[in-house]
Amino acid sequence: MKRIAILGSTGSIGTQTLEIVREQRDIEVVALAAGSNIELLEKQIREFHPALAAVWDTQAAGKLRENVKDLDVKISAGMEGLLEVAVHPDSKILVTAIVGMLGIRPTVAAIEAGKAIALANKETLVTAGHIIMPLAKKCGVPILPVDSEHSAIFQSLNGEHGNKIAKILLTASGGPFRGKKREELTDIRVEDALKHPNWSMGRKITIDSSTMVNKGLEVIEAKWLFEVEPDNIQVVVQPQSVIHSMVEFEDGAVIAQLGTPDMRLPIQYALYYPHRRPLSGDRLDFYALKNISFEEPDMTTFRGLALAYEAIARGGNIPTVYNAANERAVAKFLNREIKYLEIAEIIEDCMSCAGFMPEPSIEQILETEKNVYDYIESRW
């Protein structure tokens, strides 16, 4: 029986993780954490019977505590609650599906407690990869990628121990605005940006996919996960979302992982690695598919991707600036406070104004985030 804890159980990755728990029937959920969606969290508690549940919002935690007083479950709140879930003594794997830099401290705590990390929280490596990866190595803890692209790379590297990577080919669908030019994106509405052609994801990540900032974050993640220099990470637009990413080796051979656009596959692979399990769902039909096409990304129109490479090149706390600026800008766009094209403009402005820290500690990473948030609020 596998025992897992989930940070972000009410979000897209968290709910799909619980779908796998339902289907496989040999995973015990010992702890759950969510932001403020206590209605869904209560349903999850009643179905999966965790010993512990945490809610970020303290007031919501109090309400949940009252709602589940008939159950044998402890309810915690805030960062203390997230940390408690992360290091729960009965769990072996922590699924980090929480959105934002809230995931950094719990991930560090889980690694130090010897938990395997099924990583779906981009911000952890984007902002603190220089801390997380050495710590995981020191503690002998595996970092198992849950993102479909990084899982594809991870799968493509299976059995290739010691063979040198020449290039990572990180695929992108191109999002709902693939092929459009900047002038065509002037009056984009929230509803337009949320219409992803292939994937079902949370609102924030769907917007990130439309701007290609999501791909920029994945480039930074790939650098840390696979120890590959950014110059050797090439983004390739693959509109059908059939090839989830590829690895080119020094002899010129390219190995790819293909599949339907179903996030349950990389989640399940991380939970059961190195073993594969049957999984319900559609299968690729190559007769129906007929062709797979490739395009070069337009980094002029989708400036967010180019800014990611700039952030990596500058290093230090600049990837944190990139991530924090995007996070706040996307929130403002979703709240209809700014226009679509202003997302990249805000990121670029914040990167140009930020003070530089070469090897930021976790405290300095969080300080950088706060400074970026304050700067954006003062300007927009």
Q: Give the whole-angstrom CA distance, residue 268 versus residue 284.
A: 18
Is residue 201 predicted with pLDDT exceeding 80? no
Residue 306 placed within a domain: no
Residues 120 and 229 in one domain: no
For residue 169, the model assigns a pLDDT of: 98
| Mean pLDDT, the chain, integer | 95
Is residue 198 predicted with pLDDT exceeding 80? no
Residue 85 placed within a domain: yes
- Does residue 304 contact residue 350 with C-beta atoms inside 8 Å? no
What is the strand order of the sheet 243-249 is part of? Answer: 233-237, 165-172, 243-249, 254-258
- Does residue 108 contact residue 362 with C-beta atoms inside 8 Å? yes
Q: Name which of 217, 199, 221, 247 is nearest 145 in CA terms.
A: 221
Residues 349 and 277 in one domain: no
Q: Give the whole-angstrom CA distance, residue 175 versus residue 75.
A: 39
Residues 107 and 131 in one domain: yes
- Does residue 36 contact residue 125 with C-beta atoms inside 8 Å? no
Residues 134 and 201 in one domain: no
Q: Give the whole-angstrom CA distance, residue 320 versus residue 355.
A: 11
- pLDDT level of residue 366 (50, 70, 90 thresholds): very high
Percent of the chain whose predicted confidence (pLDDT) is above 90: 90
Residues 176 and 269 in one domain: yes
Residue 308 placed within a domain: no
For residue 200, the model assigns a pLDDT of: 65
- Measure CA 189 to chain center: 24
Is residue 86 predicted with pLDDT exceeding 70? yes
The number of distinct structural domains making up the chain is 3
Largest CA distance in the chain: 62
The helix (H) or strand (E) run that includes residue 112 is helix 104-112
Is residue 27 predicted with pLDDT exceeding 70? yes
The angle at the Cα of 292, spanning 286 to 296, to the nearest 5 degrees, equals: 165
Residue 307 placed within a domain: no
* 378: exposed, middle or buried (Cβ count in 10 Å: 0-12, 13-18, 19+): exposed
Residues 256 and 132 in one domain: no
Residues 288 and 345 in one domain: no
For residue 101, the model assigns a pLDDT of: 86
Is residue 196 predicted with pLDDT exceeding 90? no
Residues 380 and 362 in one domain: yes
Cα dihedral: 147, 149, 154, 155 (round 10) = 110
DSSP 332-347: HHHTTSS-TTHHHHHH
Is residue 144 predicted with pLDDT exceeding 80? yes
The pLDDT tens digits of the residues spanning 255-301 come to 999 999 999 999 999 999 999 999 999 999 999 998 999 999 999 99
Q: Give the whole-angstrom CA distance, residue 150 versus residue 156.
A: 10
Residue 303 placed within a domain: no
Q: What CATH number has the domain bearing residue 35?
A: 3.40.50.720
For residue 162, the model assigns a pLDDT of: 85
- Measure CA 244 to chain center: 15
Residues 195 and 286 in one domain: yes
The pLDDT tens digits of the residues spanning 333-352 come to 999 999 999 999 999 999 99
How many CB atoms are located within 10 Å of the residue 52 CB? 20
| Cis status of the peptide bond prior to 274, with omega within 30 of 0 | yes
> Where are any strands of DSSP class E within the chain?
2-7, 27-34, 52-55, 74-77, 93-96, 116-119, 143-145, 165-172, 233-237, 243-249, 254-258
Residue 44 placed within a domain: yes
Residues 172 and 254 in one domain: yes
Strand 2-7 to strand 52-55: parallel, antiparallel, or no bridges (unpaired)?
A: unpaired
Residues 340 and 256 in one domain: no
For residue 314, the model assigns a pLDDT of: 96
Residues 119 and 207 in one domain: no
Residue 310 placed within a domain: no
pTM: 0.93
Residue 359 placed within a domain: yes
Domain of residue 376, residue span? 315-380
